[in-house]
Amino acid sequence: MKFFPWQKNKSLFDEEDNRLIVKAIRQAEKRTSGEVRVFVENRCRFMDAIDRAAEIFFSLKMEKTEERNAVLVYVALKDHQLAVFADEGIYQKTGQEYWNKVVAEMIQSFNKDDYAKGIAECVIQIGEALTTHFPFDSDTDKNELPDHIVFGN
């Protein structure tokens, strides 16, 4: 029985790719109070990728972070769609142009069929922006969201 309909038994990446992405998430979050999650599925049917990313962002309750500084990296592998959805705290500090650049750089890696590396590099880049605007504070910071990749259908 599945408790969460978006969780899938079979991973869309091999173990090495999973480790690379989770390592990037942990590295990105090491110097910031911000949070990064990665959601990967095969298909993004009947909606725009950014709308799907927003739907997932809120279903994972990512807007509940204390400083509203969570970011979701969304990828639909077979449909070749992706989006980055940032909560209002970090979005207001970086602006749309920054997020367009992050997506464009991820697309460059994807065009070389290097999906895990593209996601990992995107996560590290997001971590830099989060570190700039939401630096780590050892007295108050806690990991508010899980670091594992969430797999959809």
Give the DSSP H or E segment for 70. strand 70-76
24-81 confidence digits (pLDDT tens): 999 999 999 999 999 999 999 888 999 999 999 999 999 999 999 999 999 999 999 9
> Has residue 4 got a pLDDT over 80?
no
The rounded distance, in Å, linking the Cα atoms of 77 and 82 is 8
The ranges assigned to domains in the chain are 15-151
88-132 confidence digits (pLDDT tens): 999 999 999 999 999 999 999 898 888 999 999 999 999 999 999
The CATH class that applies to domain 15-151 reads: alpha beta
CA trace torsion 127, 152, 103, 148 (10° rounding): 10
